Structure 1
Amino acid sequence: MKIVRRMGDAPRLRGCGTGETCPDIFELSDSNFAVVGTEATEALRGELPPGVTLGPDERLVVITRKTLIRAKRDLPDV
């Protein structure tokens, strides 16, 4: 598994680049996506809707709205 490309603009183009949290989204060679964000598993665990569980290797990660919106143009429809 390898990173194929960034989805959306680089963090610097979104105003990030001074060491603060810089979320990012990448497409992987296996067609999945990797997300760089702020770990928030424990803070949000109690907010999950009924029936949603996290596996032992899963984490909730928060990215900014701007990151996802600016990645939208690069996300495939299918």
Structure 2
Amino acid sequence: MEIVRRIGASPRERGSMTGDTCPDIFELSDGNFAVIGTDATASLDAKLPADAARAEYERIVVISRATLLRAKGDIPDA
């Protein structure tokens, strides 16, 4: 599995002064997506809706609204 491309604007393009520690979204060679964000598993796990579940190896990751909105145009329809 490889990173194919960034989805949306880079952290620097979104206003990060250093670009070092900001949320990011990447498309992978297998068609999946990888997300860099803040691990909020501990604070959100118990608040998941009744029809949602998280495997032990999964984490709830938070990215900024700006990150996702800037990525919207790059997300393929299919």
Q: Tell me, which stretches of 5 or more residues in structure 2 are unaligned?
A: none
Which amino acid in 2 is paired with 1:65?
R
Aligned residue in 1 for 2:7: 7
Aligned residue in 2 for 1:59: 59
- Quote the Cα distance in structure 1 between the aligned partners of 2:45 and 2:56: 13
For 1:37-48, what aligned pairs fall within 5 Å after superposition?
Answer: 37-48=37-48
- Quote the Cα distance in structure 1 between the aligned partners of 2:35 and 2:13: 17
Q: Tell me, which stretches of 5 or more residues in structure 1 are unaligned?
A: none
The percentage of aligned residue pairs carrying the same residue is 60
Structure 1 residue ranges (4+ consecutive) displaced by more than 3 angstroms after TM superposition: none
Cα distance change of structure 1 residues 77 and 19 upon mapping to structure 2, 3 Å threshold: closer
TM-score (norm 2): 0.93
Q: Is the 8 A contact 2:12 2:19 kept in 1?
A: no
Higher helix share: 1
Q: Is the 8 A contact 1:7 1:74 kept in 2?
A: yes
Q: Is the 8 A contact 1:21 1:38 kept in 2?
A: no
- Quote the Cα distance in structure 1 between the aligned partners of 2:19 and 2:27: 23
Aligned residue in 1 for 2:50: 50
Deviations 1:35-56 (A, max 9, x none): 0000000100111000211101
- Quote the Cα distance in structure 2 between the aligned partners of 1:11 and 1:4: 17
